[in-house]
């Protein structure tokens, strides 16, 4: 009997240590459709073919990224893969665009404490956004498919659109375009005013998320702020942006330290959203990145 109790105790201790040491790494490819923006540009007489080509090239860089997720049973860090950029790239308004495309900084999640922290650089100022993880009300469909050899199951949810994420902006509806043009017709024409693409878009109120998770990887983690499913999320889409896992490594000998970022001015998500919205409004009023709104923040 003593030997049996000893064996059971040792087994429990071994499983506990194993769970504590469990760690994995996943590589994700993120792509966002730019078709709507490109169509609007083609119909804009103020944009030359050369400007359109340059814009499309930079949009592709900003909207196609590779991320690494390192995770254990309760924590994770999600970070964009570092790439060496050519001189002159990612400047001005495109620097702001990149910081609003889910890239930059380290996104830390703790599903045990239901908290997150992410360090962001926006307009030359460093922020440390810290807040509580929002509970996502996932609905299971029972559908399944294979992703990288893992059987994944489908779940959907409707979430409020983040005000500070450029991917949540959509082309304005036709009736709103006509109303806006009528208002602008009443104003004095300014021949030197620069083309402002921010006038062409609006923020979606909510987005529908479709996720595919793998129960074989028993962690409630996923890319960006996604979590709360009984298995690692290997694919997630909001209709415009698709984040797809291309590689998974479990329990590698090389462990990665998973810890929350600490650099930057501490701020809540709502406060950070307000900062971004105000700066975007400055950009809109001043004709885009070339106007006074493109200066560094104080």
Read off the pLDDT of residues 124-141 as tens digits, 9 standing for 90 and up: 889 999 999 999 999 999
Position 287 pLDDT exceeds 50: yes
Would 278 be classed as within a structural domain?
A: yes
Comparison of pLDDT for 214 and 15, the residue scoring more: 214
* Most confident by average pLDDT, 14-28, 58-72, 260-274: 260-274
Position 168 pLDDT exceeds 80: no
234 is in which domain, residue-wise? 34-184+195-294
Position 214 pLDDT exceeds 70: yes
The mean per-residue pLDDT over the stretch 23-50 comes to 72
CA–CA gap between residue 64 and residue 294 (Å, rounded): 24
Comparison of pLDDT for 134 and 172, the residue scoring more: 134
Would 124 be classed as within a structural domain?
A: yes
Would 4 be classed as within a structural domain?
A: no
CA–CA gap between residue 10 and residue 73 (Å, rounded): 21
Would 93 be classed as within a structural domain?
A: yes
* Most confident by average pLDDT, 62-66, 179-183, 204-208, 222-226: 222-226
Q: How far is CA 219 from CA 41, 47, 229, 250, in A?
A: 43, 48, 8, 12
Position 7 pLDDT exceeds 50: no
CB-CB contact of 144 with 234 (8 Å): no
Would 189 be classed as within a structural domain?
A: no
The pLDDT value recorded for residue 239 is 82
pTM: 0.72
CB-CB contact of 268 with 168 (8 Å): no
Contacts of 103 (CB under 8 A, 6+ apart): 62, 65, 67, 80
Domain count, the chain: 1
The mean per-residue pLDDT over the stretch 235-239 comes to 92
The pLDDT value recorded for residue 19 is 52
The pLDDT value recorded for residue 41 is 53
CB-CB contact of 77 with 26 (8 Å): no
Would 27 be classed as within a structural domain?
A: no
Would 133 be classed as within a structural domain?
A: yes
> pLDDT-derived band of residue 243, with 50, 70 and 90 as boundaries?
very high
Instruction: Count the helices and strands in the chain (H runs, E runs).
Output: 6, 14
Would 44 be classed as within a structural domain?
A: yes
The pLDDT value recorded for residue 292 is 43
């Amino acid at each position: 009997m003593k030997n049996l109790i000893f064996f059971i105790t040792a087994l429990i201790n071994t499983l506990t240590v194993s769970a504590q040491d469990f760690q994995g790494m996943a590589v994700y490819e993120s792509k966002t459709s730019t078709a709507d923006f490109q169509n609007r540009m083609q119909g804009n007489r103020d944009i030359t073919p050369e400007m359109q080509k340059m814009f499309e090239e930079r949009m592709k860089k900003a909207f196609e990224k590779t991320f690494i997720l390192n995770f254990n049973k309760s924590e994770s860090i999600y970070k964009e893969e570092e790439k060496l950029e050519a001189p002159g790239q990612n400047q001005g308004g495109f620097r702001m665009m990149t910081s609003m495309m889910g890239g930059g900084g380290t996104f830390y999640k703790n599903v045990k404490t239901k908290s997150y922290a992410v360090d962001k650089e926006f307009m030359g100022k460093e922020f440390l956004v810290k807040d509580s993880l929002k509970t996502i009300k996932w609905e299971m469909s029972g559908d399944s498919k294979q992703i990288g050899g893992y059987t994944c199951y489908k779940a959907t949810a409707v979430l409020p659109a983040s005000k500070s994420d450029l991917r949540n902006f959509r082309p304005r509806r036709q009736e709103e375009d006509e109303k806006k043009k009528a208002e602008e017709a009443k104003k004095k024409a300014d021949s030197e005013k620069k083309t402002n693409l921010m006038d062409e878009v609006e923020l979606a109120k909510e987005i529908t998320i479709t996720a595919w998770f793998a129960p074989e990887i028993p962690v409630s983690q996923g890319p960006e702020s996604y979590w709360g499913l009984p298995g690692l999320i290997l694919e997630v889409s909001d209709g415009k942006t698709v984040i797809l896992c291309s590689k998974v490594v479990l329990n590698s000998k090389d462990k990665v330290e998973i810890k929350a970022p600490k650099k930057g001015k501490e701020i809540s998500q709502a406060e950070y959203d307000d900062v971004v919205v105000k700066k975007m409004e400055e950009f809109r009023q001043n004709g885009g990145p070339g106007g006074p709104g493109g200066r560094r923040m104080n």
